[in-house]
Structure 1
């Protein structure tokens, strides 16, 4: 018998809150699901000030902050140590110590004086003594006295100890005055027959020569010069002279110079590999020809020497040698002062000493010009070049690079032959470069835009033949005037000296 027939089934709940469609009451959920994320959001509360102070002051946070501070200082010290290591390990140019003759400017003079002459009037040697301080102020460091001994002087007379020599006190006084002015003196024996008739001279003649050299060294002479065409230019003679010099090298080193007259210096059969028989070789840049050299001949001679400007173990000193036009004299002076080696400023044989000009001041370019203003500019050029060479490491130790040059003619004419080329070379030391430009031709020349693509663009003028270029410059818009030489100090980006 069915209970509750027609009514609700037993066990079912019929209330407004429950639905019982289709599946029956057993399918209805017994618990209402709870949103856990909502509950967690309702339970989270931010820390207040007191709770933050408690947490931050805990041992965990203190240890974490200590680690951060330690890591910061370790990183800073590591960066500093790395920078120091880079500076120490990185390759950098180291200047080699130079001898006094490698840093000096040689000045060649020909005093009108002979040891066996008797002169009552003042000689040019006396006049030169009065100019020693002035020469030193110009940067001159060594005086080479040429032709003090005539070609017919015997080995006995080079000691100036023969009876009747009235000029010996003048020479000794001149040596003393030179020492006071901090100028060294070198005696030139070039073209003097020191061997007295040949290489096979007797031992007594050699002893006389040694005695004469010792005499002059004892008077303070800094060295001697001979020519490569002399009979004395041999291994045997130079070894004997070197022995004499060695006895006087305790206080200050004495030197032997060789004037190169031939195209190439004759080799010496040196049997002692560790001995240096010659300290300095004076090389002429221009050949000595009977005529005045043209611009093309000057250019060819300079270019030949620029290709061979690297030293071959013997220190080189450069002099002009041959004769060029007056317009190129300043250019040649700039060349002498900027080449590797020691410049040797030679006298000009065309100077007329009887026209009111100072006797014996035969420095090229300075005393050839009568006009006061031009003479002042010539002296300023000489002084500027000598001072730059004395203080700039690039001009003393720097490497030499001959640069191929291309220029654009601002006044070109195809109907005429091309003018002499512009010559250029670089003296470099570290990140400082000295660019030397030589316009030997009679026309204005401008640099091509792409010529100096590998060189620093910015620089400052150091000197020019007209002494009219000053301040900063750029290679992009530089023009060279006829017969002009320019020295520019270039700087690499963010590098200073």
Structure 2
């Protein structure tokens, strides 16, 4: 009898049902050996036997030694050994070649200390009471240099004409020694005049027969082509005068022989690990102002552009020579920004009251790299009363300087014809009348920089591709 439930027919079991497979004979995995056993299991449970995996543990020493002397493996080992060290040596050689072939970076230009800042010429015999305490002391010299932003002091004629090892008798020994000590303690550099030539008959070197070769025949002029003389001066400057704190020596007028001698002496001093310098190229600015014209003044400045010049300048005297305080200030401004070092002298107390801040601003601006070592190019302006030039140094802000010496006319200056000058720049200095402004004073088009009468302007810019 059959029953039907949920659409399925059910009937009694019969012998024709599908045969069941023996589970003990069916493998469940290809990995570890697994065996099910159901021979008389208790409670109908099955017993499972799992064989442990066989883990490969590498070759034994004996098995490895079979291949140690095998020609194939010997050749392979040598090939890999040579390949490794050959590649390493190749990389080393390539690195050396790259270093050798790569263009060298030019050493960074820098100025000697005797060139860097403007120089204060100070007369110890006519000291200035800077601190107004009623007494002139060596500290006044130090304070004045600091107030003006200068790090070098020029004390003229320190070397005695009679004995080059002694201080000049024109000075009170106590006063000049105190001044030298004060400068040394304050970290100021001191320069003085080079040894005089010709010398007086009573000069100790001239009277010494062993030094007769130091002089030109039948003359009291020193022979600066004589190596013995140069060696003697090297010893003198690197010992006696170094101990006094004097490391700079300025020769007024130098012919070719003396110019060469200054370089030889400087090298000799520095070979003794002494940072001393003998320089030449002094120019008298005030003499140039006696018959002033902008064209002549520009030629005067350009004439020393290839070499380094030292511009001796008395700004107070210039006011009288130019009959104008404004013109004198414009000259001062230009001297601080051209290639060369100004030497300011004749700075009286009354002058300093009104001009100290002005000179300090110029000293600070002079520290810019483009002003110190940048190329200087003068501009051919359309006005005979205007002088303009640019200082350009790739990689550092350049500056364009324009000065209008005319008392009434305004004008515009186009700097774009100078290589490296971009379209625009920022005004950072402006001198107009007695007023000096510094800082970020506005942006301007460098193709038309405006200039008012008796005005000077300095524009900083990022150099264009040169």
With the shorter chain as reference, the TM-score category is: 0.5 to 0.7
* TM score, norm. by length of structure 2: 0.58
Q: Alpha carbon RMSD of aligned pairs, Å? A: 4.5
For 1:393-432, what aligned pairs fall within 5 Å after superposition?
A: 393-406=369-382, 420-430=384-394, 432=397
Contact 1:426 1:433 in 2 (8 A): yes
Partner Cα separation in structure 1 for residue 449 and residue 269 of structure 2 = 54
SS of residue in 2 equivalent to 1:406: coil
Partner of 1:102: 115
Q: Which residue number in structure 1 is paired with residue 274 of structure 2?
A: 252
Asked if the contact 1:463/1:487 (under 8 Å) is kept, the reply is yes
Match of 2:137 in 1: 127
Instruction: Write out aligned runs for 1:11-410 (5 A).
Output: 95-112=108-125, 126-147=136-157, 154-156=161-163, 159-160=166-167, 167-188=172-193, 194-196=199-201, 201-203=206-208, 215-228=240-253, 235=257, 239=261, 246=268, 250-258=272-280, 281-287=281-287, 292-293=290-291, 297-312=292-307, 315-320=308-313, 323-324=321-322, 325-347=324-346, 351=348, 357=349, 367-368=350-351, 375=354, 378-390=355-367, 392-406=368-382
| Alignment CA distance shift 1:184-1:490 (3 Å) | same
Contact 1:154 1:196 in 2 (8 A): no
1:421 to partner: Cα distance: 2.1
Alpha-carbon distance change, 311 to 474 in structure 1, aligned in 2, over 3 angstroms: same
Q: TM-score, normalised by structure 1?
A: 0.54
What's the offset of the Cα at 1:335? 1.1
2:461 alignment counterpart: 490
SS in 2 for 1:404: coil
Structure with greater helix percent: 2
Q: Residue by residue, what CA displacement relative to the aligned partner does 1:329-353 show, whole Å, maximum 9, x if unpaired?
A: 21111111111122222325xx5xx
Q: Call closer, same or farther: CA 1:423–1:217 in 2, change over 3 Å.
A: same
Query: Where does the alignment leave 5 or more consecutive residues of structure 2 unmatched?
Result: 1-97, 128-133, 215-231
Q: Which residue of structure 2 aligns with residue 459 of structure 1?
A: 425
Q: Are the equivalent residues in 2 in contact too, given 1:108–1:344 (CA < 8 A)?
A: yes
- How far 1:393 moved relative to its partner? 1.4
How many pairs align?
Answer: 327
Q: Check whether the contact 1:155–1:193 (CA below 8 A) recurs between aligned residues.
A: no
The alignment partner of 2:339 has SS state of coil
Instruction: Give the alignment of 1:426-441 within 5 angstroms.
Output: 426-430=390-394, 432-441=397-406
Q: How many angstroms apart in 2 are the aligned matches of 1:201 and 1:98?
A: 36
Q: CA deviation at 1:491?
A: 2.9
CA 1:94 to 1:447, structure 2 compared with 1: closer, same or farther past 3 Å? farther
Offset at residue 327 of structure 1 (A): 2.3
* Cα deviation, residue 155, structure 1: 0.9
Deviations 1:451-472 (A, max 9, x none): 6477423222222223146522
Structure 2 CA distance for partners of 1:217 and 1:398, relative to 1, 3 Å: same
Cα distance, 1:319 vs. partner?
Answer: 3.0
2:370, 2:398 within 8 Å by CA — same for their partners in 1?
A: yes
The match for 1:82 is none
How far the C-alpha of 1:235 sits from its partner, in A, is 4.2
**Aligned residues of 1:111 and 1:125 also touching (Cα < 8 A):** no
SS of residue in 1 equivalent to 2:187: coil
Q: Secondary structure at the match of 1:224?
A: strand
Segments of structure 1 that go 5 or more residues without pairing to the other structure are 1-84, 115-123, 259-280, 352-356, 358-366, 408-419
Q: Distance in 1 between matches of 2:161 and 2:103?
A: 59
Sort the Cα spacing of 1:138 and 1:369 in 2 relative to 1 into closer, same or farther, 3 A.
Answer: closer
Equivalent residue for 2:407, pick from 415, 418, 442: 442
Q: Encode CA deviations 1:57-114: one digit per residue, 9 max, x unaligned.
A: xxxxxxxxxxxxxxxxxxxxxxxxxxxx9xx989987632432223232111233279
